[in-house]
Amino acid sequence: MANDIILGVNIDHVATLRQVRRADYPEVLMAAELAEQAGAGVITVHLREDRRHIQDSDVREIRESIGIPLNLEMAVTDEMLAIAADVRPQHCCLVPERREELTTEGGLDVTGNLARLRDAVGQLHNHGCQVSLFVDPDPEQLDAAADTGAKVVELHTGAYANASGEAMINELARLRDAAIHAEKLGLAVHAGHGLNVQNVGPVAKLPQIVEMNIGHWLVARAVFVGLEHAIKEMLGVMRDARK
Ligand code: PXP
């Protein structure tokens, strides 16, 4: 379907629930398999430096077991680049990371780290990974992202998701302009962060956006209706927006 949009299901918070008790359940691999069955196009995990949720073994097991691409979100560190070189996820999304943050708070400063990012993108491309850069909807960052050699950007939708009223309309306009700008630069456009069934529609409607990565809402909703149902609800809203 030319107009279709891919849902990348981020299962970090299945691991959060497991790690909070250092238990061996809920099984992250089972979540990945259920997500695949429910229509996810990609499984996304963020292997954080502090290993607060996803563990190295999760990344390896998912890579070996699922039939859809694994998207590894990672900070640009030598440790993570070595893991990516070893595990060879089909997709890598480079993100900024601060230990004390609750979640990824802003996009990458691509303009300020151009040489390092060029090198990281080059290394990952050599390992056969499709690389995306997680950036705020800012034309300068997008220009720099194209300069790194990356072929994909993921627009940070957090500011949009956290806003309301007029501010939300303005944030949506920033996302729309950024998506248009990125497409002109020849970049494929993904989006994610803070999205739920209430706010996803206007972003999913932007025709340049080909993939959305969504996690926290899906796992929270799954507590009440199950993961497969939550994913199907989200996919339904995304596809309706696209019609
Ligand atoms: N995309 C990126 C790059 C992220 O870091 C995250 C959060 O891990 C998400 C998407 C998903 O955000 P949320 O869990 O709020 O749906």
Q: Quick one: pLDDT at residue 106?
A: 86
Mean pLDDT of 101-119: 88
Q: Ligand 1: distance of its center to the CA of 186 in Å? A: 23
Residue 93 scores a pLDDT above 60: yes
Distance between CA atoms of 60 and 100, rounded to whole angstroms? 26
Q: Quick one: pLDDT at residue 97?
A: 79
Distance between CA atoms of 127 and 84, rounded to whole angstroms? 8
Which residue has the CA at smallest separation from atom 4 of ligand 1?
193
Residue 147 scores a pLDDT above 90: yes
Q: Ligand 1: distance of its center to the CA of 185 in Å? A: 24
- For residue 156, indicate whether it is catalytic: no
Q: Quick one: pLDDT at residue 2?
A: 53
Distance between CA atoms of 142 and 75, rounded to whole angstroms? 18
Residue 103 scores a pLDDT above 70: no
Residue that is written with structure tokens 């890579």 in the block: 63
Q: Is the CB of 215 under 6 A from ligand 1?
A: yes
Residue that is written with structure tokens 């194209």 in the block: 146
Q: Is the CB of 214 under 6 A from ligand 1?
A: yes
Q: Is the CB of 10 under 6 A from ligand 1?
A: yes
Q: Which of 13, 46, 53, 181 is catalytic?
A: 46
Distances from the Cα of 176 to the Cα of 43, 107, 193, 238, angstroms: 25, 16, 16, 16
Q: Quick one: pLDDT at residue 99?
A: 62
Residue 1 scores a pLDDT above 60: no
Per the CB < 8 A criterion, the answer to whether 95 and 67 are in contact is no
Looking from the CA of residue 104, the nearest atom of ligand 1 is 5
Distance between CA atoms of 134 and 15, rounded to whole angstroms? 22
Distance between CA atoms of 230 and 222, rounded to whole angstroms? 6
**H helix or E strand, kind and range, residue 8:** strand 6-10
Cβ neighbors of 135 (< 8 A, separation 6 or more) are 107, 108, 110, 141, 142, 145, 153, 154, 155, 156
Q: How confident is the model at residue 36 (pLDDT cuts 50, 70, 90)?
A: very high
Looking from the CA of residue 217, the nearest atom of ligand 1 is 16
